[in-house]
Structure 1
Amino acid sequence: MINKITRSLFFLLFVNISFAQVDVVYNDLVWSDEFDANGAINATNWFHQTQIPSGGSWYNGEDQHYTNEITNSYVNGGFLNIVAKKEPYTSQGVTKQYTSARLNSKFAFKYGRVDVRAKLPIEAGTWPAIWMLGKNINEPGGFFNATHGTTSWPACGEIDIMEHGITPSQNINYIQSALHTPSSFGNTVNHGGTLANNLGTDFHVYSMNWSPNQITFLLDGVAFYTYNPAVKTLSNWPFDLEQYLLLNIAMGGVAGTIDPSFTQSAMVIDYVRVYQNITVDTQIPTNFTATVGNVTSSSVELLLNANDDSGSVVYDVAYGSLTNSTIGTSGVQKSFVITGLSPNTNYTFSVAASDVTGNEASNNSIILNATTLGVTACSGSDSVAQQGTFSIGYNYEFETIGTDVKITFEMLDTDRVGLVAILWKQSPFTETQMTYVSGRIFTHTITGQTIGATINYAVKFAYANGFSVTRYISYVVGSNCALNQDSFNEFTDFTYSNPANNYITINTTSQIDKVEIYNLLGNKIISQSTNTNEIEVASLSDGVYLMVVYSGNRKGIKKVIIN
């Protein structure tokens, strides 16, 4: 017990420093299991989920039975042992050759931090996981199903705090965290990973910090992936309801072939702890200000500031039918960039400030107006590398803003860990660290350029155990490769389906004469002058395109996503 307390105090000191990487710090321990009583698991805290889903097998082609046998889950010497074993076992009329355990916490919560200190099985075919599901999932056999099961997966939301063994292309010490939502599930695009030392022999602390604005994953107190969609919908953010914890080891399936010599292995867990902030906060944010910062053809920067005793301020920005949220530090100006806007368009933003408890500033809401600039940019995609290699490639964009050029590169390869980007100027050669935007997107703005001059830049993407360098891209400052601009008045009084799948449907009371679709290289790929309210795009690859809509002497240009 003394050793566990000593470890806990050390980790708390560590956390106080490193959790500055998250948006909300949670301080109050509200639920935990320290696994101090030898024998069976604490039935007050945990439930054995053993019922096989319909079809006679667990999901993802797994090969194990989950049991409530003490040989598969037990406490000894201050540690929970979840043990996967090779042994024939018959249950519910089905015989399988492996057993394991899947535990549901009987505690569910909304928002907070989870810390789990554990060491993992790393044998081929093992799939240890520390994760969460919405309390409302209608999964037969789950602890909350009978009382709260109203929602199917993935609409209930799934938060994978730690998974190991399902990324065979990665280093043996690679762990992954992921989110499953209606917008992306199964082989989800919403994931991040990192490397740890000696996963099979050393304990590490796997953490998840969940606020109303974002979910951040940490290894030993260091953040490595954050999920924070700017515009939150039911499709991409089902994370505003209670979730519960799951601990398990699966065998085989997507974890790959089980080692023929496998006999048994365990995930050993020192503790599971959940933190929230339970002190009632009644103080409202003060000194709330909001102004417009940098404006481009597709983005508007809002400069936000307020004070609050909690140390954090939530800013909600509404424009049109959309609402974006971000969290800033009390008393520190927050730069919040609204992206994906249309060029040459006036936007009205309504900005409100509150604390994480929901107390609102007295001067809500502040109204701001900004007009985006016209597009003067060139963009494209490539996979050519002058050093290293790209398996998929990269996107790039050069945008002239006054006498500045904003350079943006996006790495499309998804199998690179610890990604950073360094901008290379060809002549004279210089290197500049680029600013991380989101996902795998990085940007840097070079100032004081001469209109008409040609500049040449590449990007070095550095990552764990290597790097890849793009080819040099030439750009004429002030040039516009996207579309040729003709003399038309602006046309804005229409809406359209976005994202679109097989068809783009345009809604307007005006007569549409013609619709054109361009790729981001400026190439016209669709031109339609009949039946112009419904454009078939089934033949187009997934991606972002520019749609030009003509009505008389008016023309409207909008971005559209095809998926």
Structure 2
Amino acid sequence: MTVHTPTRHKRRLSGKRRAVLGAASLACCCAVAAALPSGASASPDASEAAGKKAAAASFADEFDGPAGSAVDSSKWQLETGDNESNHERQYYTPGSDNAALDGEGHLVITARKENPADYQCWYGTCEYTSSRLNTATTFNQAYGHVEARMKVPRGQGMWPAFWMLGSDFGDVGWPASGEIDIMENVGFEPGTVHGTLHGPGYSGAGGIGADYSLPGGEDFADDFHTFAVDWAPDSITWSVDGNEFQTRTPADLGGNEWVFNKPFFMILNLAVGGDWPGDPDDSTTFPQELVVDHVRVETDDAAPPA
């Protein structure tokens, strides 16, 4: 997505062709340390393997909890407001109104054609509500395997995304912070997702990325799929269901600065309408849901701590 400064509560957006959403200057440098197991009586090799396994999982949310409950606030914060720069139509709401657990191990982000609280958007009275979550104050990390297993919504104007922004976003702004779009889907391309890098000199429509399409005319909304990046110093590789479809390095940037060797935080959101996907039309049905089975981050043992 892309980043801009909203007129009300501040939040962040990014993605291929998205305008920059300027979020508030958040304290974004929360280091996450994984504790090694203690008291093990195994052999040195076994103990070392156990230690590496424990250190590998630095973030995990399986979204277990009672139906209707809000997301874990120790892992996620909710952003609220509209997004004029991308000309999106939704208002991101607080609480569990549009982001709640379903009681079956999923987070459900719901886009609705409604305005229960007279929310005001850049174009007047908001027509839609949805939700956007980030880990800016709870989890930031450099490098590793970052993945989400999700089932995307369906329909013209839908724009789900799983992406990351540099932890220094509040200090340097966008695109100097860097942005890694792990997955974006726009409703008029039901069988295709996009993975993109944005940075100084290659932002917005000039982002560096590639597409991945399902075989046989399948739609991503038909089932769950796992979207991931494997991120190391000077290298990022994208995959869908374990199928790698692009790798980017500083050599791809035409001499522009590589700004991805530092901690980033994660963002999940479901936008409605905007410059890239276009607005919903008579064929679009509501509500629509982005259903998230899990979000996980595993560290590379060779990577330096965030």
Which residue in 2 is equivalent to 1:264? 287
Match of 1:34 among 62, 66, 69: 62
Q: Does 1:120 align with 2:152?
A: yes
Q: Which runs of 5+ in 2 are unaligned?
A: 1-54
Alignment of 1:524-563 (within 5 A): none
Which residue in 2 is equivalent to 1:290? none
Q: TM-score, normalised by structure 1?
A: 0.40
Which residue in 2 is equivalent to 1:220? 241
Give secondary structure in 2 for the equivalent of 1:107.
Answer: coil
Which residue in 2 is equivalent to 1:101? 131
- Aligned in 2, Cα 1:233/1:175: closer, same or farther, shift over 3 Å? closer
Worse-matched range after superposition: 224-233 or 116-125: 224-233
Give secondary structure in 2 for the equivalent of 1:215.
Answer: strand
Match of 1:134 among 166, 169, 182: 166
Contact 2:89 2:279 in 1 (8 A): no
CA distance in 2, matches of 1:239, 1:175: 21
Alpha-carbon RMSD: 2.4
Alignment of 1:146-185 (within 5 A): 149-165=170-186, 168=188, 171-185=189-203
CA distance in 2, matches of 1:268, 1:237: 32
In structure 2, give the amino acid aligned to 1:249: L
CA distance in 1, matches of 2:198, 2:287: 30
CA distance in 2, matches of 1:211, 1:277: 8
Contact 1:216 1:223 in 2 (8 A): yes
What is the deviation of 1:257? Answer: 2.5
Q: Which runs of 5+ in 1 are unaligned?
A: 1-26, 138-148, 282-355, 359-563
CA displacement 1:408-442 (0-9 Å, x = unmatched) = xxxxxxxxxxxxxxxxxxxxxxxxxxxxxxxxxxx
What is the deviation of 1:263? Answer: 1.9
What is the deviation of 1:234? Answer: 9.2
CA distance in 1, matches of 2:77, 2:119: 18
Match of 1:78 among 105, 108, 111: 105
Which residue in 2 is equivalent to 1:521? none
Contact 2:70 2:95 in 1 (8 A): no
Q: How much identity, in percent, do the aligned residues show?
A: 35
CA distance in 1, matches of 2:278, 2:72: 32
CA distance in 1, matches of 2:114, 2:95: 13
In structure 2, give the amino acid aligned to 1:154: P
Give secondary structure in 1 for the equivalent of 2:262.
Answer: coil
Contact 1:113 1:275 in 2 (8 A): yes
Q: TM-score, normalised by structure 2?
A: 0.72
Aligned length: 239
CA distance in 2, matches of 1:234, 1:157: 15
Alignment of 1:103-502 (within 5 A): 103-105=133-135, 106-137=138-169, 149-165=170-186, 168=188, 171-196=189-214, 197-230=218-251, 235-253=256-274, 254-260=276-282, 261-278=284-301
Structure number, greater radius of gyration: 1
Contact 2:143 2:300 in 1 (8 A): no
Match of 1:63 among 89, 108, 116: 89
Contact 1:108 1:244 in 2 (8 A): yes
CA distance in 2, matches of 1:162, 1:199: 11
In structure 2, give the amino acid aligned to 1:265: Q
Q: Which has the higher strand share?
A: 1
CA distance in 1, matches of 2:147, 2:221: 18
